[in-house]
Amino acid sequence: MRYYSLNRQSEPVDFRAATVAGQAPDGGLYFPETVPRFPAGFVEQLPTLTAAEVAYTVLRPYVGTTIPEAELTRICAETVDFPLPVVAVTEQISALELFHGPTLAFKDVGARFMSRCLGYFSRHETRPVTVLVATSGDTGGAVASGFLGVPGVEVVILYPSGRVSPVQEQQLTALGQNIRALEVRGNFDDCQRLVKQAFRDTDLRNRRRLTSANSINVARWLPQQVYYCLGVAPVAGPPPVVAVPSGNFGNLCAGLLAYVSGLPVGHFVAACNANAAVPAYLTSGEYAARPAVATLSNAMDVGDPSNFGRLLELFGHEYPVIRGLLSGCSVSDAETQATIREVHARTGYLLDPHGAVAFFALENALRTRPEAQGLFLATAHPVKFPEVVAAATGQPVPVPAELGELLRRPKHSTLLDPDYEALRSVLLA
Ligand SMILES: *Cc1c(COP(=O)(O)O)cnc(C)c1O
């Protein structure tokens, strides 16, 4: 499999080069030259396959010959070595719970796959590689946990000061070892802009081996297809409506990729908070980036989603095709809170703010599809947002033991102005 840059000014590369570089030299996102179909019988067999087998089958064509079979088998098994259950919430709606991994959020899967691929590709390198990543909340924690203690890899994480939850901040700043956290006086878009600028800085790149771990990296993006295979398999009846809490749109684009590869999904819902650039596009056909707005579902506070280009590319920029398969929904903070409260009161199920956005959007989409089954991706454990969830339900969220230990560790971060020269000197220090 080869990958081309969506900016079309760089040469196509294989999986290894795309993973190591993160982004194409022309600043574009890598995109597979062809979308492979799932093997015959794969969809029918899904209910009997393990998560590791699903991951291997889905990812094999994308990895090509860059990782041998035995290694890829091991990497896939380690990537999904925690439960990914589908839980019925109402008669019509189920949750695919993606928050049972080490950092209690769905980005663990992509981060674990990528860190292991990068570890394999760097096994003979003498110069350390710096993984540079901007996070709106959960990416950083998942990447930090995925790379913690991996020899020859240094991780530098930029996060917006005061805009991540206390648990998220601990997961970024309390691990130590090869993980460094930079607390940026700005928002997520500032963090992302600084990271993009570093990747365009050829002088810096001559002096440091830089790679990205944002959802733009194909090794983070592609394994997310596995969620949809695991989520759709146990849902009875016609292909379900699937709602995805979306910020940078990596997760949703992976679901659409699985759909194009042959996974039966009836309809997709892009569930967004007040950051509604894509829902607005889906209604009007016009796309306009916006400044990011802070919300309760802060991992989705993205004004100009990086993966929007992949969404367009996947469907040949055909707005009517995209519009037919995907609708958008922008959910306010008040609706998010009310959803957490009502779903808890009605069913006992505890949603986190991101899951609540998806639940609200899904119920909305099912109103015109009363016969359909709905599935939403529950992307974070409610304990990651204890204040919001407790305020909505009126009850404290129980803290799992392993999290209690992390919360007691000291925080280590470096404050940084949202200014490129400041980042550059940190990276060269
Ligand atoms: C990152 C994140 C999202 C958004 O995923 P994208 O792939 O960026 O659209 C949703 N929920 C949670 C909890 C997240 O951490």
The C-alpha atoms of residue 399 and residue 414 are separated, in whole angstroms, by 28
Whether residue 299 contacts residue 138, with contact meaning beta carbons closer than 8 Å, is answered with: yes
Q: Whose CA is nearest to atom 1 of ligand 1?
A: 299
Which pLDDT value is given to residue 136? 79
Q: Tell me which DSSP letter residue 239 carries.
A: P
For ligand 1, mutation pick of 145, 300, 360 (most atoms within 8 Å of CB): 300
Token pair in block for residue 155: 């991780």
Centre of ligand 1 from the C-alpha of residue 41, in Å: 31
Q: Whose CA is nearest to atom 14 of ligand 1?
A: 299
Residues 378-390: what's their mean pLDDT?
A: 93
Q: Tell me which DSSP letter residue 65 carries.
A: T
Give the confidence band of 101 by pLDDT, cuts at 50, 70, 90: confident
Boundaries of every domain in the chain: 83-105+220-398
Centre of ligand 1 from the C-alpha of residue 51, in Å: 21
From the list 353, 411, 425, the residue with the least C-alpha distance to 198 is 425
Does CATH number 3.30.390.10 belong to domain 83-105+220-398? no
Q: Higher confidence at residue 20 or residue 343?
A: 343
**Distance from chain centroid for Cα 353:** 16
Phi and psi based region of residue 159 (left: phi greater than 0; alpha: psi -120 to 50; beta: remaining) = beta
Centre of ligand 1 from the C-alpha of residue 361, in Å: 15
Residues 61-80: what's their mean pLDDT?
A: 96
For 10-25, the three-class secondary structure string (H helix, E strand, C coil) is: CCCEEHHHHHHHCCCC
Q: Higher confidence at residue 139 or residue 288?
A: 288
E-state strands within 280-396: 326-330, 374-378
Centre of ligand 1 from the C-alpha of residue 248, in Å: 7
Percent of the chain with pLDDT over 70: 100
Please identify, by atom number, the ligand 1 atom nearest to the C-alpha of residue 250.
7
Give Cα separations from 96 to 4, 109, 228, 234, 358 (angstroms). 32, 14, 9, 10, 11
Centre of ligand 1 from the C-alpha of residue 354, in Å: 8
Please identify, by atom number, the ligand 1 atom nearest to the C-alpha of residue 354.
11
Centre of ligand 1 from the C-alpha of residue 384, in Å: 13
Q: 């490129």: which residue's tokens?
A: 420
Token pair in block for residue 230: 């695991």
Which pLDDT value is given to residue 218? 96
For ligand 1, mutation pick of 98, 107, 377 (most atoms within 8 Å of CB): 107
Which pLDDT value is given to residue 30? 97
Cα atoms in the 13 Å half-sphere on the side-chain side of 125: 16
pLDDT digits (tens, 9 = 90+) for 162-189: 998 888 899 899 988 999 999 999 998 9
Which pLDDT value is given to residue 149? 79
pLDDT digits (tens, 9 = 90+) for 14-69: 999 999 888 898 989 999 999 999 999 999 999 999 999 999 999 999 999 999 99
pLDDT digits (tens, 9 = 90+) for 276-312: 999 999 999 999 999 999 999 988 999 999 999 999 9
Task: Walk across the sheet containing 129-134 and list its strands.
Answer: 209-212, 129-134, 153-160, 179-184, 414-416
Which pLDDT value is given to residue 214? 67
Q: Whose CA is nearest to atom 8 of ligand 1?
A: 248
In the predicted model, is pLDDT for residue 403 greater than 70? yes
How much is the mean pLDDT over the chain? 93
In the predicted model, is pLDDT for residue 406 greater than 90? no
Pocket of ligand 1 (CB under 6 A): 105, 107, 137-138, 215, 245-252, 299-300, 354, 379-380
Token pair in block for residue 23: 């982004």
Which pLDDT value is given to residue 139? 78
